[in-house]
Structure 1
Amino acid sequence: MTHPLVIAGSGLAGYNLAREFRKLDRDTPLMILSRDAAGFYSKPMLSNALSANRTAESLVMKSADKMAGEVLATIRPQVEIASIEAANRIAVLTSGERIAYRDLVLAIGADPIRLPIGGDGAADILSVNDLDDFARFAARLDGATRVVVLGAGLIGCEFANDMLARRIAPTVIDIAAWPLGRLLPEAAAAWFRQQLEAAGVTFRMKISATTVERNGDAYRVTLDDGSVLDADLVLSAVGLRPRTALASAAGLTVNRGIRVDRLLATSDAHIHALGDCAEVEGLVLPFVMPIMHQARALAATLAGKPTPVAYPAMPVVVKTPACPTVVCPPAANAEGSWQIQPQPDGEGGLEGGVEAQFLAPDGTLLGFALLGAATARKQALTTRTPAALG
């Protein structure tokens, strides 16, 4: 009997790998293990579901049963791997059940980072990292008008913009000097902040929360400058940490994520990783496009044709309708500087949008940020930007 290819995780990474694999191999037994109900949904849709008037239930595009038929797999919802016996190729579930595998793929995602915040309301701080989280968040929004968002990165800004559709006035706080601090140069971020504040978002930058105290049915958030914000709800969106504990306990090499090579193989040749939990040549990229490229490459490898993953230039679309934004960040070690580009009308680029280019000393384009009307330049600049992983 042939042991199955086992995929741990039923998110975008796990299901897209299953779909790509089935295009190449219809016969190898396939099993998908899921910590939740295993319905297929798009996680990026969580941060703009409110304005689309979507519920947690309506975000599910296909049930586990339908996905099982589509990818010809045995899908096991509500189960989790407790340990891996790599030498024997055995995955041990928390129930004690032992599952033998031909190959194991870890598509187990990442956990929200929790800030060290005190106070009797700290345990009530919400984060949204999956469908169940979103259901709890949406239920708590009933009647809320004041929400404090911890984190002015991509997810924090997207949720803040989305809450405007519910007539909620969000206040976003961050220790960074400006919003989207890891993606935008200061001048572009200033314009981004201006647009979102005009729409109803408040930003408090260079500041952090120290305590969250219950105040009846609401909360009082104390900041490190001594000021206090009243809130009906506190949402944390300060980032994700790849789930590496399972891999580490199995003796696999981990760093920021589960370390894999260009074939997405871990330090054990029969265990692979992709998605938010994986670190590929030092890169941990929790975005849709890297996942799609990983899934295609790994599917080919697992079907018998070793295929190294490669990343083209992959612009990130920030879902903030109050300020449409596209960013293609330069490599972390890139030498160069951000330059604000004049718009075609010659007005400096600060009226209808902003175009910022990250240029090498010789003038080569290494990255870009486009805001407002300048997002129309996305395709033109993408074709000039070098591959993220060639």
Structure 2
Amino acid sequence: MRPIIIIGAGMAGYTAARELRKLDKTVPLTIVTADDGGFYSKPMLSNAYAQNKLPTQLVTQTATQLAAQLDATIMTGTRVERLDTAGRKLVTDKGELDYDKLVFAVGAHPIRLPLEGDAADQAMSVNHVEDYVRFRQQLDATEAGRRARVTILGAGLIGCEFADDLAGGGHAVTLIDPNPLPLAALAAPALSEGLQASLTERGVDLRLGTTASRVERGDGGLNLTLANGATVQTDILLSAVGLRPSTTLAATSGLTVNRGIVVDSYGRSSAPDVYALGDCAEYTEADGATRIMPYIAPLMNAARAIARTLTGTPTAIDLKPSAVIVKTPCYPLALVPPPQKSVAQGSWATARDDKRTICRFYDADGLMAGFGMSHHDAAGRQALMAELGKPRDAAPGA
């Protein structure tokens, strides 16, 4: 009997495997990964320092433990070279594998900025626990006698989380972004302004409205030149400008690829019995639009639905909105960003009380299509979730 094969041993791959095993204890299952197959929570990488989490503490289960738990074959250190969808074969550097059904869970890779200078190769990204090991080694190497100077490129979700985490740990953090406010692509301006103020109070040096253009080696560190002519001296240069879905294998195997691997409402790719989920997938919504959804809730929902479909009960993925929790303790946020297509025609409405700022986004039809809340709690998030799709006059106090 041919197995179900999952390519990738990150959160997406292992979540799909666990959901599958809840439904079918006996179907052969193989997981193929280029790394050591250990499980860790990737979102923890951006706030592990303040929690005093060492890299070794982030990995909660080894591949050997997971193989026993899932009754699966986990092929570690194995690189996939080609997918033969007609013959249902996965070609790896350790031989060919036949499959009955196959799931892409290959994640995304960091976007590389076109930096100039003799130290451009020193810009590092943290997208994997092995990256975090190298990052901590550099961080620890500069701690003797003074705070480490860390410059972060990108004030999006990950950049802001790293900035808060490292500044809270006592390091000197500079945060650079071309936008006029941090978290500009996800949050309402009022919330971005609140985050900016809180990060500044935390000690973060925000350099907004500019970009890094050149990095050169200097005495005792790196010299960074910005597009506005300013310079920054730093020990570590961390790039957090975003991720790009890993689609090379899918594209060369003939699957339909746009920004990500295009899948239908059931998680099915354009090839028979080949699925995708997580950061590598481009999901199809109810109105036929497709979008990347690099968050935990869509991943979990996709894993549950795909597992049911794989075991004989076709199940559409539930892509209803869910709150994105921004791990910035200095100014905690919960966000449901509005659909990109609605932003130009809609507007934000802001309300404040003694503690919180609440922003509601209304689309061109006057319906609430997104929100953001500072200093949030479960009850507040649930109340705002219930308002989604409702008209402006339905909001409390409207």
- TM-score > 0.5 by shorter chain: yes
Q: Does residue 136 in structure 1 map to residue 139 in structure 2?
A: no
- Percent identical across equivalent pairs? 42
Q: From the superposition, tell whether residues 371 and 207 of structure 1 become closer, same or farther in structure 2 (CA, over 3 Å).
A: same
Query: Partner of 1:25 in structure 2?
Result: 24
For residues 74-133 of structure 1, give each alpha carbon's deviation from its aligned partner in whole angstroms, at most 9, with x where no partner exists. Answer: 0111112111111101111134x1111111111000000000001111101110001100
| Structure 1 residue aligned with 2:346 | 336
Please show how residues 59-208 of structure 1 align to structure 2 within 5 Å: 59-95=58-94, 97-142=95-140, 143=143, 145-208=148-211
CA distance in 2 between counterparts of 1:109 and 1:361 reads 34
SS at match of 2:331: coil
Measure the CA separation in 2 of the matches of 1:141 and 1:312.
40
Structure 1 Cα separation of the partners of residues 115 and 216 of structure 2 = 10
Deviations 1:328-358 (A, max 9, x none): 1111222421111243xxxxxxx53311100
SS at match of 1:189: helix
Once residues 217 and 91 of structure 1 are traced to their aligned partners in structure 2, the CA distance between those partners, rounded to angstroms, is 48
Any stretches of 5+ residues in structure 1 without a counterpart? 344-350
Superposed CA deviations along residues 280-335 of structure 1, whole A, max 9, x for unmatched, are 12111111111000000000000011111112221000000000111011112224
Separation in 2, partners of 1:374, 1:78: 42
| 171 and 298 in structure 1: CA distance in 2 versus 1, 3 angstrom threshold | same
Letter in 2 for 1:8: I
Residue 38 of structure 1 contacts residue 64 of structure 1 at CA under 8 Å; is this kept in 2?
yes
Give CA deviations for 1:249-269 in whole Å, capped at 9, x if unaligned: 001110000111111111101
Q: Whole-Å Cα distance in 1 between the matches of residues 135 and 106 of structure 2?
A: 22
Task: Give distance in 2, aligned partners of 1:362 and 1:10.
Answer: 43
Instruction: Report the equivalent of 1:356.
Output: 359
Match of 1:241? Answer: 244
Q: Structure 1 residue 315 and structure 2 residue 323: aligned?
A: yes
Question: How much does 1:383 deviate?
Answer: 2.1
- The AA in structure 1 aligned to 2:315 is T
Maintained 8 Å contact 2:334/2:376: no
**Structure 2 residue identity aligned to 1:200:** G
**2: distance between equivalents of 1:373 and 1:90?**
48
Q: Which residue of 2 aligns with 1:303?
A: 311
The one-letter code of the counterpart of 2:33 is S
Contact 2:6–2:102, Cα closer than 8 Å, also in 1: yes
Cα pair distance change 1:9/1:45, threshold 3 Å: same
Which one-letter code corresponds to 1:147 in the other structure?
A: V
1:10 aligns with 2:15: no
Deviations 1:44-76 (A, max 9, x none): 011110011111111011111111111110011
* Distance in 2 between residues matched to 1:237 and 1:188, nearest whole Å: 20
- For 2:378 and 2:315, locate their aligned partners in 1 and report how far apart those are by CA, in whole Å: 33
Q: CA deviation at 1:225?
A: 1.2
Cα deviations by residue, 1:147-179 (Å, 9 ceiling, x for unpaired): 110000000000011102331121110111210
SS of the residue corresponding to residue 50 of structure 2 reads coil
| Residue pair 1:355, 1:374 contacting (<8 A) in 2 also | no
Structure 1 distance, partners of 2:224, 2:93, is: 38
Deviation at 1:361, TM superposition (A): 4.6
SS of match in other structure, 1:119: coil
Of 200-209 and 147-156, more deviation after overlay is shown by 200-209
* 1:7–1:107 CA contact under 8 A, matched in 2: yes
Q: What is the identity, as a one-letter code, of the residue corresponding to 1:248?
A: A
2:299 alignment partner, SS class: helix
Are the equivalent residues in 1 in contact too, given 2:106–2:279 (CA < 8 A)? Answer: yes
Contact 1:36-1:78 at 8 Å conserved across structures: yes
Q: Runs (4+) of structure 1 moved beyond 4 Å?
A: 373-376
1:384 Cα offset (Å):
2.1
Contact 2:138 2:236 in 1 (8 A): yes
